[in-house]
Chain A
Amino acid sequence: MDKVQNNKAWFLVLPVLVLVAFSAVIPLMTVVNYSVQDTFGNNVFFWEGLGWFEQVLTDSRVHGALGRQLAFSGIILAIQIPLGIAIAVCMPKKGFWASVCLVLMALPLLIPWNVVGTIWQIMGRGDIGLVGYSLSALGIDWNYARDPLHAWITVIVMDVWHWTSLVALLAYAGLQSIPQAYYQAAKIDQASRWSVFRYIELPKMQGVLLIAILLRFMDSFMIYTEPFVVTGGGPGSATSFLSIDLVKMALGQFDLGPAAAFSLMYFLVILLVSWVFYTVMTNLDKAEGR
């Protein structure tokens, strides 16, 4: 029997297409459109080709922002992942205190990002902030609005405070799924605490840790709100990460063309990194199932 071709069925996909078009395709294409054109106002556009892309790629200001961004993501990953694992390992596994710890750990995650920024903006102030005042009282001339190092420390401490919980909770879930028999066997084999961590806990947490790294990398790579509230990208451009720089370019200077080209490349970098993570993770799954 011949297959019946019923192309009318495609109409059923239409609502989704319309929705996706408005929510993703059209905004994205607008950006693509801006990235290859120039304008002097009055809604008159000129074809610019790949000019903006070349300009952005060779722009030392963008290079600086990218460098700071990579440094920031690298530093917070290097702190949050080990710290999160350590917290998860130390958390009680069951009972009343396990619940208390879980709630406490979840709290920072529930606070809106601009509020987090505000909290640390105030905390770091030398005149009224708890941390800033204490440091000043200790004889350290603490001023994150003037000293780039102080600004970096504030932003990093804030991010660690805000997001280490996520890593800890994911690692905790990974630890909870390890059957008791593994710990018993390790005890019988007279393994040290370090061996238990190295050969049982860490391998079993591998999957969730990869997800934690992916999430933390993407989020930190796109960070905007908190540093914007705390330092506004300063002092100078010391804490101008990619997003902050992009917004300055697009809305501060209204350089729509370069900003659009910048956005597209920014988007592609994130896409690329996510793809790499996805490939690594699926390959690990295959190795597991072999």
Chain B
Amino acid sequence: MVQITLDNLAHSYLPNPQGEDDFALKQLDHVWKDGEAYALLGASGCGKSTLLNIISGLLVPSRGRILFGDRDVTHQDTVARNIAQVFQFPVVYDTMTVGDNLAFPLRNRGMAPAAIAEQVQKIAAMIGMEDQLKRKARGLTADAKQKISLGRGMVREDVNAILFDEPLTVIDPHMKWELRTQLKALHNEFGHTMIYVTHDQTEALTFADKVVVMHDGRVVQLGTPEELFDTPEHTFVGYFIGSPGMNLIDAEVAGDTAQCGGHAIDLGGHYRTPKGRVQIGIRPEFVTLTAGDRGLPVTIKRIEDVGRHQILRAEFAGKPINAILPEGFAVPAGANRLHFAPDRINVYADDWRVAPLHAVANPVKEAV
């Protein structure tokens, strides 16, 4: 087990990449700490799988280096790297039995047969296929095949890291939850570095200590689930994480006030006037609906009751804006103003978060 460092990494599938657009993976510096469980989150086609394949050695990056500890492994093959990887769609060796499938990676490493048998039993118990070890893998359901693939990924205890590329896509929902718990348990027991690619934010947030969000071939933020929720570094993180995502409103920011279409909004921090396209971002959780003449005037479209809370769908200046209202909240008559909690507002310039110079000492608390 080892710390994995990506140094100036970039990858293009084209032989002679010209502009930045030619790169599937834009320049990237990143350290995967030994023994942590990471989730790699992002929309389809953002470069997640490319990154995994580069780490495991299936792809050689166009630029940059990969270090395992201090060892440069950029041009080493999968055998030298000893990394396990589970793919999105099941891959089993049809002519082998389930047991032989699980034993295959161990046999290839020349492990003693007795130790192999023991390890295979253990993994089979973990994926719930102990009674099918002697069966041929051909003709099993996609579910069962994917469990075998997962098992093959977890069977080697000496791997440097385990990479999961959306491994639970084809698995039944109830089995999904169970397998995720098993992965978590495995991580706690052996402390492998795990990188788990997904585009399902719930999966990412429950599995990982640290979440890496990728967008358009770039890592836009690395952080704990809380950090991603409270201070998204990029507007993509804001609206990709959370349900519904962060509200983004075009604004002019100066000092501790934002001007949105002629309405002043108090901010929780002090800012220099940012350049470029400036937006303020506020999570629907920190938006309240009020009557009166303070806050942002909006047109209310509808209110959705989703059980534990209600979602208010409204419009400001023709753009949608959402708020989360508590369960059973009765909308006051004439309420059409939205108020934002000042210390929860983030400011973005050209999609990247601008840190405040300092917090406002005593943010004005408006009466709700």
> Could you tell me the distance in whole angstroms from the C-beta of B196 to the nearest C-beta in chain A?
16
Q: Does B84 contact A (CB under 8 A)?
A: yes
User: Closest chain A residue to B149 by CB distance?
Assistant: A185
A289 to B141, CA, bound (A): 10
CB neighbours of B56 from chain A (8 A) = 188
In the complex with contacts A181-B91, A191-B108, A203-B95, A287-B138 CB distance below 8 A:
yes
A99 to B95, CA, bound (A): 32
Q: Does B87 contact A (CB under 8 A)?
A: yes
CB neighbours of A185 from chain B (8 A) = 85, 87, 91, 149, 152
Q: Does B93 contact A (CB under 8 A)?
A: yes
A192 to B108, CA, bound (A): 8
A287 to B139, CA, bound (A): 7
User: Closest chain A residue to B95 by CB distance?
Assistant: A203
Contact between A187 and B57, CB atoms less than 8 A apart = yes
Q: Does A136 contact B (CB under 8 A)?
A: no
Stretch in contact with the other chain, from B75-83, B114-122, B302-310 = B75-83
A203 to B91, CA, bound (A): 13
**Per-position binary interface string of chain A over residues 192-219, scored 1 when its CB falls under 8 Å from any chain B CB and 0 otherwise:** 1001000110011000000000000000
Select which of A182, A190, A289 is within 8 A of B108 by beta carbon.
A190
Q: Does B201 contact A (CB under 8 A)?
A: no
User: Closest chain A residue to B79 by CB distance?
Assistant: A190
Contact between B58 and A187, CB atoms less than 8 A apart = yes
Contact between A199 and B96, CB atoms less than 8 A apart = yes
CB neighbours of A59 from chain B (8 A) = none
A188 to B55, CA, bound (A): 11
Contact between A199 and B78, CB atoms less than 8 A apart = no
CB neighbours of A195 from chain B (8 A) = 104, 108
Select which of A181, A190, A191, A200 is within 8 A of B87 by beta carbon.
A181
In the complex with contacts A181-B87, A200-B93, A189-B105 CB distance below 8 A:
yes
In the complex with contacts A184-B53, A195-B108, A190-B78 CB distance below 8 A:
yes
User: Closest chain B residue to A188 by CB distance?
Assistant: B85
A200 to B93, CA, bound (A): 7
Count of B residues near A, CB < 8 Å?
Answer: 27
In the complex with contacts A184-B58, A190-B109, A288-B139, A199-B95 CB distance below 8 A:
yes
CB neighbours of B139 from chain A (8 A) = 287-290
CB neighbours of B53 from chain A (8 A) = 184
A179 to B90, CA, bound (A): 11
Q: Does B94 contact A (CB under 8 A)?
A: yes
A98 to B70, CA, bound (A): 40
Contact between B95 and A188, CB atoms less than 8 A apart = no
**Per-position binary interface string of chain B over residues 130-165, scored 1 when its CB falls under 8 Å from any chain A CB and 0 otherwise:** 000000001100000000010011000000000000
> Could you tell me the distance in whole angstroms from the C-beta of A197 to the nearest C-beta in chain B?
12
A290 to B95, CA, bound (A): 14
CB neighbours of A192 from chain B (8 A) = 108
**Per-position binary interface string of chain B over residues 60-104, scored 1 when its CB falls under 8 Å from any chain A CB and 0 otherwise:** 000000000000000001110011110101010111100000001
Contact between B95 and A187, CB atoms less than 8 A apart = no
User: Closest chain B residue to A202 by CB distance?
Assistant: B95
User: Closest chain A residue to B58 by CB distance?
Assistant: A184
Give chain A interface residues in 44-77, CB to chain B under 8 Å: none
CB neighbours of B85 from chain A (8 A) = 184-185, 188
Contact between B94 and A188, CB atoms less than 8 A apart = no
Select which of A182, A188, A287 is within 8 A of B83 by beta carbon.
A188
**Per-position binary interface string of chain B over residues 288-304, scored 1 when its CB falls under 8 Å from any chain A CB and 0 otherwise:** 00000000000000000
From B53, B57, B138, name the one whose CB has the most chain A CB atoms within 10 angstroms.
B138
> Could you tell me the distance in whole angstroms from the C-beta of B157 to the nearest C-beta in chain A?
15
> Could you tell me the distance in whole angstroms from the C-beta of B155 to the nearest C-beta in chain A?
9
> Could you tell me the distance in whole angstroms from the C-beta of B51 to the nearest C-beta in chain A?
14
Contact between A182 and B79, CB atoms less than 8 A apart = no
In the complex with contacts A181-B87, A287-B139, A189-B152 CB distance below 8 A:
yes
User: Closest chain A residue to B56 by CB distance?
Assistant: A188
User: Closest chain B residue to A192 by CB distance?
Assistant: B108
CB neighbours of A200 from chain B (8 A) = 93
CB neighbours of B96 from chain A (8 A) = 199
CB neighbours of A189 from chain B (8 A) = 104-105, 108, 152
Contact between A187 and B77, CB atoms less than 8 A apart = yes
A26 to B253, CA, bound (A): 95
Contact between B89 and A191, CB atoms less than 8 A apart = no
CB neighbours of B78 from chain A (8 A) = 187-188, 190
CB neighbours of A290 from chain B (8 A) = 138-139
CB neighbours of B89 from chain A (8 A) = 179, 181
CB neighbours of B84 from chain A (8 A) = 188
Select which of A181, A199, A288, A289 is within 8 A of B93 by beta carbon.
A199
A104 to B201, CA, bound (A): 52
CB neighbours of B87 from chain A (8 A) = 181, 184-185
In the complex with contacts A187-B57, A199-B96, A288-B138, A182-B91 CB distance below 8 A:
yes
A181 to B149, CA, bound (A): 12
User: Closest chain A residue to B83 by CB distance?
Assistant: A188
CB neighbours of B83 from chain A (8 A) = 188
A179 to B77, CA, bound (A): 20
User: Closest chain B residue to A200 by CB distance?
Assistant: B93
5 interchain pairs, CB-CB under 8 A: A182-B91, A184-B53, A188-B56, A188-B58, A188-B105
Residue numbers of A with Cβ under 8 A of B are 179, 181-182, 184-185, 187-192, 195, 199-200, 203-204, 287-290
Other 10 A-B pairs with CB < 8 A, given A188-B153, A190-B78 = A185-B85, A185-B87, A185-B149, A187-B78, A188-B78, A188-B83, A190-B79, A191-B104, A195-B104, A288-B139
Q: Ordered nearest first, which 7 A-B pairs have the shortest CB separation?
A: A185-B91, A290-B139, A189-B105, A190-B108, A199-B93, A187-B78, A188-B85
